[in-house]
Amino acid sequence: MKTTKEAAPLRLARSTSPALRLLYTPPAGVVSRPPHFLREGATQIGRELAGRGLLLSDDDQASRVHATVHLDSASGQLRIVDEGSRNGTFVNGLRISDSHLVEGDILRIGNSLLLVRSEPLSVSEGPDLPIAGLLGSAPAMRQLRKTIRLVAPTPAMVLLLGESGSGKEVVSRAIHELSGRSGPLVAINCSAIPDSLAESQLFGHVRGAFTGAAPHSGFFRAAHGGTLFLDEVGELPAAVQPKLLRALEEKAVVPVGATEPVACDVRFVAATNRDLTGAVEAGTFRGDLLARLAEFTLALPPLRDRREDILPLVQRALLAEGASDKTPPPRLHPELAAQLVLYRWPYNVRELLKVAMELRIRAQGATEVGVEMLADRLALLERPAPSPPAVAVATPVAPAPTLGAAPAPPKEKAASARGPIPTREELLSLMQRHNNVIADVAREVGRSRAQVYRWLQQHGLDRS
């Protein structure tokens, strides 16, 4: 373990700091404000504050001094203490009196919602320039836009990794539009191509290649001068993979029935929600093809990792079709806002847009959207597996002393009622099986990523 003296230079050089982001507060509703950075010591939250703190002056459900957040920079621990508020302090939907906090925790103070976040301290890396279709102010989205602008003008092949509905096709379009290439963007879903037709559809065929065959150029040549987006590339038939590799390396295709290659100037972007490294180990995907496709890898954040973007996206989607941005959408009731922020969104933005569409239909003519408008759907929505509120864990986001670890109190036992804590060997096996991808381990065991990090900490393991 490093001593305080040894660790000091790292703390001074850190680029992030713990902060609270106000997501929702009445009567304004959904708000977009700069993060409130937390300083060493105590930060009060409430309706009337005598000293420094985060003021919720218009929230009549918040007490004058509702809660206090304490930051210990030396240990990296962050905790919140309820100050005897009349309506209680909630962390991830659970009422607490004294709780440690971790990255991504949702606080409810009165009817206001706040997010615990490690925020960049410096903006010296340049402005956050907008990209069509990629909305959101979360640090992960700001970094995504920056990275897209870096890689788009290069000839590098890009492999997009992300869950279903996380926006892989939107990112591929952004890469194409910022690449400067004059040709078209051609998007194909590899899982929708029948095995028997895969080679013909990708590379084309000549007249007479099979009975009744007319000449067909194929997707590669259709994208000449532009970008070919191979979605669900992990579903490509095994027989086509070596031919795809040759086409990538030689920048030419051999149509079915032809003997001479045809040159093709194509930029390649591929995407998958599968573990391709595991597929290589299982022998269902070629390792050399993966290495070629992944000249540059770009991971898309799931919606649950950028909760500050949920309510603005819902609010934007609630605008009636044809309405201008100046037309205010219906307000979100505080309880509905809390439900939406706490939900895990397994299908990401695609699912959010469907929920917003249902709200928009039900809210026609209404000035406020309430939980009752989603009663049937919300009854089916699984509440997230919140971090047990009295436990902290080292955050995977910031290397600085923010949001550090704390010993697990007795509440951990109650929080683990859904299943036993895995042994050290079981956890190592899970991590190895999923190539140290925390999100995949969490999905298999049906727990939150914060819980998996907590298990690692309890067994003295780190992510590597």
Which backbone phi and psi does 177 adopt, to 5 degrees?
-65, -30
Residue 61 zone, left/alpha/beta (φ > 0; ψ -120 to 50; rest): alpha
Quote the pLDDT of residue 431: 83
Name the CATH code of domain 139-299 (choices 3.60.15.10, 3.40.50.2000, 3.40.50.300, 3.30.210.10).
3.40.50.300
pLDDT surpassing 50 at residue 205: yes
Query: At 108, is the secondary structure helix, strand, or coil?
Result: strand
- Residues 203, 263: contact at Cβ < 8 Å? no
pLDDT surpassing 70 at residue 27: yes
pLDDT band at 377 (very low <50, low <70, confident <90, very high): low
Average pLDDT over residues 223-242: 93
- Where do the H-state alpha helices sit in 251-369? 276-282, 287-293, 310-318, 334-342, 348-362
Q: Which of 67-71, 115-119, 386-390 has the lowest mean pLDDT?
A: 386-390
pLDDT surpassing 70 at residue 214: no
Average pLDDT over residues 202-219: 72
pLDDT surpassing 80 at residue 226: yes
pLDDT surpassing 70 at residue 384: no
Quote the pLDDT of residue 412: 37
pLDDT surpassing 50 at residue 257: yes
The CATH architecture assigned to 4-120 reads: Sandwich (2.60)
Query: Any bridge partners for residue 159, and if so which?
Result: 270, 297
Where does residue 342 rank: exposed (0-12), middle (13-18), buried (19+ CB within 10 A)? buried
Higher-pLDDT residue of 435, 384: 435
The packing angle between helices 310-318 and 348-362, to 10°, is: 40
pLDDT surpassing 50 at residue 87: yes
H/E stretch holding 7 reads helix 4-12
Quote the pLDDT of residue 361: 87
Higher-pLDDT residue of 197, 233: 233
Q: What is the pTM of this model?
A: 0.75
